[in-house]
Amino acid sequence: MENYVFHWNVVFKAFPQLLGGAFTTLHVSVLSMLVGIAIAVLLALGKMSHSKILVMASSSWIEIARNTPALFQIYMAYFGLGAFGINLSPYFAVFSALVFVNAGYLAETFRGGFQSIPKTQYSAAKSLGMTTFQVYRYVILPQMFRRIYHPMTNQFVWSILMSSLGILVGMNELSGETQRLQSVSFRTLEFFIVAAVMYFVITKFVLLTSSLIAKRIFKGDIA
Amino acid sequence: MNLFTPLSWNDSGFILNGILNTIYISVVAIVIGTILGLIVGFMRVEANKVVNLFLGSALDILRSVPLIIQLILFSTYIGALGHPMDPFMAGSIILSLYTMAFMSEVFRSGFESVPNTMRTAARSLGMTYWQTVRYIRIPIGMRAVFPSWLGVALSVIKDSALVSVIGYMELLRTSEQLISRTQQPLTILLGVGLFYFIISYPLSLYGKYVERKMSI
């Protein structure tokens, strides 16, 4: 390390831009998570349905999402779709790749959570005179939510970490912004150290918040 | 006029090289990561609170910083020290450490799944401490977490694609270079995706099969 002198000043000056990048990172992860959850519900329902076509379609989405690298999916969205004349912006390419993966992983989580609740509970609730809506609202969904809460948190953290791949397609999230700033200042090490710390803080913050929320809504008894 | 040379059979050697490099670095990372993960997981079960806190936070850093940042940071740091490392070395060091961070959690829960009574029983049969580790805790605990181990190993194969950012010629970087020469992104990327899928899908099915078999 004797030849390398750290210059932190330039990083401090660029800090607002880094914060902007961090905001974009959160932004894209939250949005991709929300859309991913919506699609995942549909995929899970599709996989549990009786129609062969729906089962096939949702299974192939799920298996492709789970068995190929995230980087491949981002390349596919950014470079591959160009062959069809669809040119996505870097933000949208990363966003759609994350949605694709999130939906695939969460669909399996939802399906597992749903199937982990014994069918007998449904019959029991029905025999107590509940309507179908009430059965789901008061019996099935609360238990299911408890079981899928932690996998969902993990998936969210994963989205935050994987949105860092935006660096490769020139997106302006935290890594991309870091890359741009280091290329104009040549302080590679300093900028990436700060970026690493920021990712660590964001992830820890998300995990801490999620466990606080879990304590609050599950009142201590977490499945 | 077409200015680009299309994809031809002459490229197969280049692609094969990329495939082999992907397999090579994944296997290296999985093997080293498993060995280190086993050691660290064992330490986390056996060590006292202070050591555990230290190990836990070190592993936390590896898990909460994106792999791509770790790779760039490490290779730049080594470069700044004045001893640049070739991409394979730098990539396999970081990928192995990253794998270790996940494997250690898997193995820790494996060790914790072995009931204490078994250890007591083994000790009362006259086994030494290390014999209980060698013949009771590792075989029984590791069998229980095999599906999770497989899951981590599969994610390492997929994450190995990221080593391309520091210049290692694995499959995705190979394909990227072919794309910039041939301008046929879709064909090449579909081939690459198929390759990962063919490796990953049967293994994930096998993992699910083992999990189902063990749960009954």
pLDDT band at A4 (very low <50, low <70, confident <90, very high): confident
- A199 contacts in B (CB within 8 Å)? 64-66, 69
Confirm if A173 and A31 have CB atoms less than 8 A apart: no
Find the residue in A nearest to B70 (Cα): A196
What is residue B109's predicted lDDT score, i.e. its pLDDT?
A: 92
Please provide the average confidence, as pLDDT, over all residues in chain B.
89
Q: Do A83 and B185 touch (CB under 8 A)?
A: yes
Flag whether pLDDT at A113 surpasses 60. Answer: yes
- The CA distance from B127 to the nearest CA of chain A, in Å, is 37
Helices (H), chain A: 9-13, 15-48, 52-67, 70-78, 90-115, 119-127, 132-134, 141-162, 174-185, 188-218
**Which of B19, B59, B65, B195 should one mutate to test binding to chain A, selecting the residue with the greatest count of A CBs within 10 A?**
B65
Residue A72: half-sphere exposure toward Cβ, Cα within 13 Å: 28
A72 at interface of B, judged by CB pairs closer than 8 A: yes
- The CA distance from B130 to the nearest CA of chain A, in Å, is 35
- A63 contacts in B (CB within 8 Å)? 197, 201, 204
Rounded CA gap, A74 and A101, in Å? 10
How far from chain centre, in Å, is Cα B172?
17
Q: Do A68 and B68 touch (CB under 8 A)?
A: no
Output the CA–CA distances (angstroms, integers) from residue B26 to A43, A215, B88, in the order listed: 31, 39, 11
Helices (H), B160-184: 171-182
Span A9-218: which CATH code?
1.10.3720.10
What is residue A222's predicted lDDT score, i.e. its pLDDT?
A: 52
* Option in A79, A178, A199 nearest B189 (CB): A79
Secondary structure letter of residue B7 according to DSSP: P
Mean pLDDT of B90-98: 94
Tokens matching residue B32: 């080293």
Secondary structure letter of residue A136 according to DSSP: I
Q: Which residues contact B19 (CB under 8 A, 6 or more apart)?
A: B171, B195
Mean pLDDT of B33-52: 91
Query: What residue ranges define each of the domains in chain B, with the CATH number in brackets?
Result: 9-215 (1.10.3720.10)
Find the residue in B nearest to A199 (Cα): B65
Handedness of CA A11, A14, A15, A18 (dihedral sign): negative
> A27, exposed or middle or buried, with CB in 10 Å at 0-12, 13-18, 19+?
middle
Tens of pLDDT, residues B190-212: 999 999 999 999 999 998 898 88
- B204 contacts in A (CB within 8 Å)? 63, 66-67
Helices (H), B114-184: 116-124, 129-131, 138-144, 146-159, 171-182
- B74 contacts in A (CB within 8 Å)? none
Q: Do B189 and A175 touch (CB under 8 A)?
A: no
Among B70, B108, B107, which Cα is nearest to B92's?
Answer: B70
What is residue A201's predicted lDDT score, i.e. its pLDDT?
A: 94
A6 at interface of B, judged by CB pairs closer than 8 A: no
- B101 contacts in A (CB within 8 Å)? none
* Option in B69, B81, B158 nearest A175 (CB): B69
Find the residue in A nearest to B184 (Cα): A83
Q: Do B197 and A200 touch (CB under 8 A)?
A: no
- The CA distance from B76 to the nearest CA of chain A, in Å, is 6
How many residues are listed for chain A in this entry? 223
Mean pLDDT of A178-202: 89
pLDDT band at B6 (very low <50, low <70, confident <90, very high): confident
Confirm if B152 and B95 have CB atoms less than 8 A apart: no
What is residue B1's predicted lDDT score, i.e. its pLDDT?
A: 59
How many residues are listed for chain B in this entry? 216
Find the residue in A nearest to B172 (Cα): A72
Flag whether pLDDT at B101 surpasses 90. Answer: yes
Q: Do B72 and A71 touch (CB under 8 A)?
A: no
Please provide the average confidence, as pLDDT, over all residues in chain A.
89
What is residue A7's predicted lDDT score, i.e. its pLDDT?
A: 81
Flag whether pLDDT at B39 surpasses 90. Answer: yes
A189 at interface of B, judged by CB pairs closer than 8 A: yes
Flag whether pLDDT at B4 surpasses 80. Answer: no
A128 at interface of B, judged by CB pairs closer than 8 A: no
- B72 contacts in A (CB within 8 Å)? 188, 192
Flag whether pLDDT at A1 surpasses 80. Answer: no
Mean pLDDT of A16-27: 92
Output the CA–CA distances (angstroms, integers) from residue A214 to A67, A209, A223, B4, B13, in the order listed: 30, 8, 10, 56, 53
What is residue A221's predicted lDDT score, i.e. its pLDDT?
A: 59
Rounded percentage of chain A residues whose pLDDT exceeds 90 = 52
Rounded CA gap, A87 and B185, in Å? 13
Tens of pLDDT, residues A52-105: 999 999 999 999 999 999 989 999 999 888 878 888 899 999 999 999 999 999
> B127, exposed or middle or buried, with CB in 10 Å at 0-12, 13-18, 19+?
middle
Tens of pLDDT, residues B157-190: 999 999 998 888 888 889 888 888 888 888 889 9
Find the residue in A nearest to B67 (Cα): A161
pLDDT band at B111 (very low <50, low <70, confident <90, very high): very high
Flag whether pLDDT at B141 surpasses 60. Answer: yes
Mean pLDDT of A128-142: 89
